[in-house]
Amino acid sequence: MILVHLTDGKNEPFNLIGDFGILRLRRAFIHAAEGAGDLRNAALLVDVDLSDIATVRKLKELLPKRHEASIWIFACDAGNRAAEVQAGALGATKILPRPVNTEALLQHLGLLDAPAAEPPDDTHPAAASVVSGGAVLKGLFDSLLGNRPVVAQTVSDAAGDISSGMDEAGVNQWLDFVRHHHTGTYQHCMLVTGVATAFAKHLHLSHKDTTLIGSAALVHDVGKARIPVAILDKPGKLTPEEFMVMKMHPVYAYEFLSKSAGLNPEIIAAARHHHEYLNGTGYPDRLSAEKIRDVTRILTIADVFGALIETRSYKPPMPAKDAYAILENMTERGMLEGPLVEAFRGVAADIA
């Protein structure tokens, strides 16, 4: 087997470890067409900057029509959804995180047996709804990057599944299952959806309104699909310039969701305004109290709390009582609605 490492030269050269007999590794540069050679009969490891338009155009020129048996492996920075979607559009059969792990590569090439996978705990009462919600989230992020509309009923169905799953598992088990099965922005969106749904139930809202709030929570951060991962997952305080970029995610969400038929306007408004505060210090529109809708006020509380209790690589989850104390402090500063934060006390008390 010939493995062609197709590169733009921006990343460290990839080196195979060990002798695998029938595998030959050849390196080719995409900006030297004659160096790429005939790619039709080779397995490909494509390790390039997929955010570079010129690079993507060159790839489209070089890559032959992929045969169904061909192996096209793309290396992408971990969590870079834009690159992953672009790789899929170019014909990737497998996406591996950069830097490429030798064993994972050889396993996909069929030259090394994969370790037995640990079967998912599909008997856990939270499993079905967490899987459902995660699949919808992935679809939302992919749809934004691919400029495809949202199917409103899919979002509503997932929010309903999450509500039922929480009834079965209890809020703590459900949130713990999310933490063990999702990371980064997906974990945040799922935690916020769980917290917002628990809050709606605590307020004794109707099933319809609970599903509405759950739907708003599920889609609220979809605009982050357009935020560079280096900013999105930065382990520390953002610079003023980075924060200006981050502050665009509600606008991106609004622009995307506004194009989708059937979505409740409350959901679209909540996606744009979940970082607005009653005292007018929020973003992107610096709205004040009278212009912020009730669904948005509920979602904002769940969003702040969810961010504080989530697990990240650079921070452990904050205890619920400490997270609630921050909500109280924000209320004293005029940012959140006092009666709602007081009502949320019971939700926070239920979360370990």
What is residue 35's predicted lDDT score, i.e. its pLDDT?
44
Q: Which residue has the tokens 């973003």?
A: 283
- At 59, the pLDDT band (50, 70, 90 cuts) reads confident
The domain defined by 127-350 carries CATH number 1.10.3210.10: yes
Percent residues over pLDDT 90 in the chain? 51
**Total number of residues shown for the chain:** 352
Residue 275 has pLDDT above 80, yes or no: yes
* pLDDT, tens digit, 9 for 90 and up, residues 204-232: 999 999 999 999 999 999 999 888 877 88
Residue 102 has pLDDT above 50, yes or no: yes
What is residue 123's predicted lDDT score, i.e. its pLDDT?
76
Q: Which residue has the tokens 């961010």?
A: 307
- 152-169 vs 127-145: helix axis angle to the nearest 10? 150
Between 34 and 77, whose confidence is greater?
77
Which structure tokens are listed for 83?
């690159």
Report d(CA 218, CA 134) in Å as an integer. 9
Q: What is the pTM of this model?
A: 0.69
Tell me the CA distances in angstroms from 121 to 53, 167, 172, 180, one per residue in order: 41, 18, 17, 11
80-89, 185-194, 323-332, 341-350: least confidently modelled range: 80-89
Between 260 and 298, whose confidence is greater?
298
HSE-CB of 327 using CA atoms within 13 angstroms: 31
102-116, 186-200, 289-303: least confidently modelled range: 102-116
139-148, 238-247, 275-284, 316-325: least confidently modelled range: 139-148
- At 291, the pLDDT band (50, 70, 90 cuts) reads very high
Q: In DSSP terms, which residues pair with 301 in a beta bridge?
A: none
Can 2-108 and 127-350 be said to share one CATH topology?
A: no
Q: Cis (ω within 30 of 0) for the bond into 240? A: no
What is residue 313's predicted lDDT score, i.e. its pLDDT?
59
| Coil vs helix vs strand at 131 | helix
Please state the rounded mean pLDDT for residues 55-76: 83
What is residue 306's predicted lDDT score, i.e. its pLDDT?
95
Long-range contacts, stretch 209-215, CB < 8 angstroms, 24+ apart: 210/163, 211/156, 211/159, 211/160, 211/163, 212/159, 212/264, 212/266, 212/267, 212/295, 213/295, 213/298, 213/299, 214/159, 214/160, 214/162, 214/163, 215/155, 215/156, 215/158, 215/159, 215/264, 215/267
| Domain ranges, ordered by start, for the chain | 2-108, 127-350
Between 61 and 263, whose confidence is greater?
263
Report d(CA 252, CA 185) in Å as an integer. 15
11-15, 78-82, 151-155, 314-318: least confidently modelled range: 11-15
The domain defined by 2-108 carries CATH number 3.40.190.10: no
What is residue 235's predicted lDDT score, i.e. its pLDDT?
72
Strand order in the sheet with 43-47: 24-29, 2-7, 43-47, 72-77, 94-98
- E strand or H helix at 305, and its extent? helix 294-309
The rounded mean pLDDT for the chain is 87
